[in-house]
């Protein structure tokens, strides 16, 4: 716990340097508590939930991405180490699917930060092994990935034709490309599935950080404009709890700041509401909704070059 507090304090100082802290009165009930730390500070990894378990993988290291993989029991507040990924990676997409697998796609692997990976890996829970699946149509990193009705949707990021949406059918074990491109291409965005739609939340465009929200109607195969975020955000934590989309933390680009604000959108209709902010500002955290809670793991308190030196192992849990 001492180590966790020390890292958290470092994150706090990094955030203050960039003027990241301001207060917003909560507009909905709920509060944060601290869970068992993951054990090693990390940022720019990913998480995905299945039932009351959250799987967390990868992240940036000082020299190269890490390959760690672990499961967090939300109700028991216990971490369980699992077999590491075949290679360390950061800036990748991660999701669980109806076939019971945990999937990771793309990202930057090893020390190669110039070429986004096209690899797709599946963690076979029954046999506790990683299995390489069919590669994506092209390399992609700093994207988001969400699962809906047995399909994985890879949205945004950087790489060849990054506005294209890749779709992986987990039952057919095959990729296709959606006919409708993401209307406003960006990276470092949040991507979630809710109410039968795939949401693309915020992110970084060529002109800076955006507040845009787009919704992919999966049945119709087309995008439409959603309710914009209250403020532009990139590298924010996102998750879905009881049909509500949560977005917390993240950063701006000009000026470069890290935030603690927490916004909630009812996917069935309505606008964004403010909720209790994070205890401290955070960007690049792994996150997911599970067990009736929004769980945020690790991340960095400082933006830009400070992000690697203000990483945290803290787990924050929000319960509405």
Contact 89, 78 (CB under 8 A): no
Residue-level pLDDT at 29: 81
Predicted structure pTM score = 0.90
Q: Parallel, antiparallel, or unpaired: how do β-strands 315-319 and 293-297 relate?
A: antiparallel
Residue-level pLDDT at 104: 99
Residue-level pLDDT at 21: 31
Domain boundaries, the chain: 2-319
Give the DSSP letter string of 67-111.
--EEEEETTTTEEEE-PPPSS-EES-EEEE-TTS-EEEE--EETT
As a whole number of angstroms, the distance between CA 177 and CA 271 comes to: 31
- Reported as a single tens digit per residue, the pLDDT across 307-318 is 878 899 999 999
- Reported as a single tens digit per residue, the pLDDT across 180-217 is 999 999 999 999 999 999 999 999 998 899 999 999 99
Phi, psi (deg, nearest 5) at residue 16: -60, -35
CATH class of 2-319: mainly beta
Contact 320, 244 (CB under 8 A): yes
Residue-level pLDDT at 130: 99
- From the number of C-beta atoms within 10 Å of its C-beta (0-12, 13-18, 19+), residue 174 rates as exposed
Residue labelled with tokens 């009165």: 25
Q: Which segments of the chain have a pLDDT < 70? A: 1-27
Nearest in space to 43 (alpha carbons), one of 249, 207, 212, 289: 249
Nearest in space to 144 (alpha carbons), one of 196, 101, 204, 100: 204
């Amino acid at each position: 716990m001492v180590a966790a507090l020390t890292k958290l304090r470092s994150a706090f100082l990094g955030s203050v340097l960039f003027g990241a802290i301001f207060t917003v009165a909560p507009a909905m009930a709920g509060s944060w508590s601290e869970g068992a730390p993951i054990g090693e500070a990390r940022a720019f990894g990913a998480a995905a939930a299945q039932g009351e378990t959250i799987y967390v993988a990868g992240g940036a290291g000082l020299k190269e991405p890490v390959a760690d993989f672990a499961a967090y029991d939300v109700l028991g507040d216990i971490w369980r180490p699992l077999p590491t990924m075949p290679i360390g990676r950061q800036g990748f997409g991660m999701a669980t699917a109806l076939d019971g697998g945990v999937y990771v796609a793309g990202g930057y692997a090893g020390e190669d930060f110039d070429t986004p990976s096209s690899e797709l890996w599946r963690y076979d829970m029954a046999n506790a092994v990683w299995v390489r699946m069919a590669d994506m149509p092209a390399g992609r990193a700093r994207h988001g990935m969400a699962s809906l009705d047995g399909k994985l949707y890879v949205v945004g990021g950087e790489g060849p034709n990054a506005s294209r949406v890749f779709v992986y059918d987990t039952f057919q074990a095959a990729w296709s490309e959606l006919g409708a491109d993401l209307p406003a291409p960006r990276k470092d965005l949040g991507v979630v599935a809710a109410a039968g739609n795939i949401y693309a939340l915020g992110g970084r465009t060529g002109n800076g950080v955006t507040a845009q929200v787009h919704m992919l109607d999966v049945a119709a195969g087309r995008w439409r404009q959603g309710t914009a975020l209250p403020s532009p955000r990139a590298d924010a934590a996102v998750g879905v709890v009881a049909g509500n989309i949560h977005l917390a933390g993240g950063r701006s680009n000009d000026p470069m700041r890290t935030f603690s604000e927490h916004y909630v959108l009812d996917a069935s209709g309505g606008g964004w509401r403010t909720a209790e902010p994070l205890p401290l500002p955070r960007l690049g955290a792994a996150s997911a909704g599970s067990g009736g809670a929004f769980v945020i793991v690790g991340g960095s308190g400082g933006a830009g070059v400070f992000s690697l030196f203000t990483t945290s192992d803290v787990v924050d849990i929000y319960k509405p």
